[in-house]
Structure 1
Amino acid sequence: MRTFVSAIAVILGVLLSAVAVPAIWLDRNIMQEDGFVALAAPLGKDEVFQHRLAAAAVGTIDTSAAPEALAGMVKPVLEALARSLSGLPGYPAAWEETLRKSHRLSIADPRTLPPEADSTTSLTLDVAPLVALGVQEISKTSGLPLAAPDQTLISIGQSSQRQLIERVAAYAPMGYSLAIAAGAAFALALVAARRRWAVIFSAGVAGLLLAGLWTAGSQLAGDAVLGAASGNEVADMFKNEFVGAASNNFRSWILATAITGGALLVAGIVIRVVSPGHGRATR
């Protein structure tokens, strides 16, 4: 009976862990604003992405308020700004604020989104902070009376992906409770086991199997996201870069799980060899 209870507890712990770890990763790195910003911030250092994003942001600047006599000056100024925007001192802060505003739009309740935002897309980039930086620079260097917009939105994804974000928002916070339950299940397995080395060995094998499962699952998820083209070059570039950054980040979690699993597997074998009677029930 003790062996049966231990085996069931191990299986339950593995199943709970399989769901808990991805959920916790999603909550910390996608659903929480600070985690999202930390994950996506390095994208702003990519030179090609910087220049294309700057060009897209500058291209949205409304110059209609400029006097007609200065109209010929506007285009060269905008072209020069598109090339230099990412080098301005305020660019890092503007990029971070762009990510924060975009995150709030992406996972907000659709009823709270502005009318011009597509409430069904999975991610909406609001590059208004970058546009404001550009407007400020133009006004400072040329004296043109330009106003910065409150929002400059770039939609990413397809219509079905808003529903996916909502499901993730409901699922991700459950990871912490599931992780606690998984820990309790493994503890029960150890307490009930006649051969505790077998529980440790099984947990190690499970860790290696879960690492393989998560590797395959993350690859499938990444391919699904990348396969949904938005038709916007800047949006697709952001999506491609972000998926790569997310995959690399989760891969470190997978590696940690694999190392832990391997260590437990070896520990179980060593305990069995060194102490053949380890874990036997006392009568």
Structure 2
Amino acid sequence: MRTFVSAVAAVLGLLLSAVAIPAIWADRNIVQEDGFVALAAPLGQDAGFQQRLAAATVGTIDTAAVPDALAGLVKPVLEAAAGSLTGLPGYPAAWEETLRRSHRLSFADPAASPREADSSSSLTLDVAPLVALATGEISRATGLPLDAPKQTLIKVGQSGQRQLIAGLTAYAPLGYPMAIGAGIAFALALVAARRKWTVLVCVGFGALVLAGLWTLGSAAARDAVLRTASGNGIADMFKNEFVAAASNSFGPWVTGALIAGGALLVAGLVTRIASPGRRRPNR
């Protein structure tokens, strides 16, 4: 009976861990605003990404109010602004505010979202802070009073994916109680086991299997997202860079599972060698 209880508890702990670890990662790095900003902020420091984002951002500036006679003056200023935007002192703050606004739009209650933020989109970027930075620079260079929009919304992903965001928001925080449950299950398995080393070896091997499954699942999810196209250059550019950053961020968690699994395997083998079982009685 003790062996049965130990086995069931060990399997339950592994099943809970399989769900808890990705859920906790998603909550910390996607659902929580600070984690999302920390994950995506380095994208704004990549030189190639900066140049493409600046050019795309400047391209959204509405110059319809500029007189035709001054159009030739504005064009080179726009090109210069695209090249110097990321070097402006206000760029880091504008990029961070862009990420925060985008997260609030994407993860807020649809009823509380602005009408322009279509609830069918999976993620909505608001690059208005970057547009305002570029508009201010162009106004100073030309002396023309250009008005920056309050919002510049860009949809990322395909329609119908809003449900995925809602599901992630509801599911991710459950990872913490699941992790606690996994810890309790592992402790019960160890206490109930007749041979402690068996539990250590089985759980260690299970952790290695989970690390492999997480690696395959992460790669499959990354490829699935990359295959989608929004039809917007800025959106696809951000999506590709963000997915790569997310995949790299989850990598250390998988490595931690590999290390923990290997350590448990070694501990189990050492325990087995140190406690070989009952010795045969001397004749």
For the pair 1:101 / 2:101, whether they are aligned, the reply is: yes
Comparing 236-245 with 105-114, which one deviates more in the overlay?
Answer: 105-114
Task: Please name the residue that 2:281 is paired with.
Answer: none
Structure 1 residues 171-227: Cα deviation after superposition (integer angstroms, max 9, x where no partner): 000000000000000011111111111111111001100000100111111111111
- Which SS does the other structure have where 2:124 is aligned? strand
Does the 8 Å contact 1:204/1:261 carry over to 2? Answer: yes
Task: Please name the residue that 1:269 is paired with.
Answer: 269
Q: How does 1:191-206 map to 2 (within 5 A)?
A: 191-206=191-206
Does the 8 Å contact 1:211/1:254 carry over to 2? Answer: yes
- Which SS does the other structure have where 2:11 is aligned? helix
Task: Please name the residue that 1:281 is paired with.
Answer: none
Task: Please name the residue that 1:142 is paired with.
Answer: 142
Does the 8 Å contact 2:74/2:142 carry over to 1? Answer: no
Deviation at 1:69, TM superposition (A): 4.7
Superposition RMSD on alpha carbons, in Å?
A: 1.4
Task: Please name the residue that 1:226 is paired with.
Answer: 226
How many angstroms apart in 2 are the aligned matches of 1:54 and 1:255?
A: 35
How many angstroms apart in 1 are the aligned matches of 2:59 and 2:229?
A: 22
- Which SS does the other structure have where 2:154 is aligned? strand
Structure 1 residues 59-89: Cα deviation after superposition (integer angstroms, max 9, x where no partner): 2222334455533311111111011111111
How many angstroms apart in 2 are the aligned matches of 1:178 and 1:74?
A: 58
Deviation at 1:167, TM superposition (A): 0.7
Comparing 217-226 with 62-71, which one deviates more in the overlay?
Answer: 62-71
Q: Which runs of 5+ in 2 are unaligned?
A: 279-283
How many angstroms apart in 2 are the aligned matches of 1:119 and 1:212?
A: 35
Aligned amino acid, residue 15 of structure 2: L
Task: Please name the residue that 1:83 is paired with.
Answer: 83
Task: Please name the residue that 2:176 is paired with.
Answer: 176
Aligned amino acid, residue 9 of structure 1: A
How many angstroms apart in 1 are the aligned matches of 2:162 and 2:206?
A: 34
Structure 1 residues 76-126: Cα deviation after superposition (integer angstroms, max 9, x where no partner): 111110111111111111111111111111111122222222211111111
Does the 8 Å contact 2:37/2:96 carry over to 1? Answer: yes
For the pair 1:62 / 2:62, whether they are aligned, the reply is: yes
- Which SS does the other structure have where 1:154 is aligned? strand
For the pair 1:125 / 2:157, whether they are aligned, the reply is: no
How many angstroms apart in 1 are the aligned matches of 2:68 and 2:207?
A: 68
How many angstroms apart in 2 are the aligned matches of 1:148 and 1:87?
A: 19
Aligned amino acid, residue 263 of structure 1: A
- Which SS does the other structure have where 2:117 is aligned? coil
Deviation at 1:15, TM superposition (A): 0.4
- Which SS does the other structure have where 2:240 is aligned? helix
- Which SS does the other structure have where 2:125 is aligned? strand
Comparing 60-69 with 156-165, which one deviates more in the overlay?
Answer: 60-69
Does the 8 Å contact 1:121/1:160 carry over to 2? Answer: yes
Task: Please name the residue that 1:22 is paired with.
Answer: 22
Does the 8 Å contact 1:65/1:145 carry over to 2? Answer: no
Q: TM-score, normalised by structure 2?
A: 0.95
How many angstroms apart in 2 are the aligned matches of 1:195 and 1:28?
A: 37
How many angstroms apart in 1 are the aligned matches of 2:229 and 2:67?
A: 39
Aligned amino acid, residue 73 of structure 1: L
The alignment-based identity, stated in percent, is 71
How many angstroms apart in 2 are the aligned matches of 1:257 and 1:175?
A: 16
Aligned amino acid, residue 21 of structure 1: I
How many angstroms apart in 2 are the aligned matches of 1:129 and 1:228?
A: 27
Deviation at 1:259, TM superposition (A): 0.7
Does the 8 Å contact 1:98/1:127 carry over to 2? Answer: yes
Does the 8 Å contact 2:58/2:81 carry over to 1? Answer: yes
How many angstroms apart in 1 are the aligned matches of 2:193 and 2:131?
A: 63
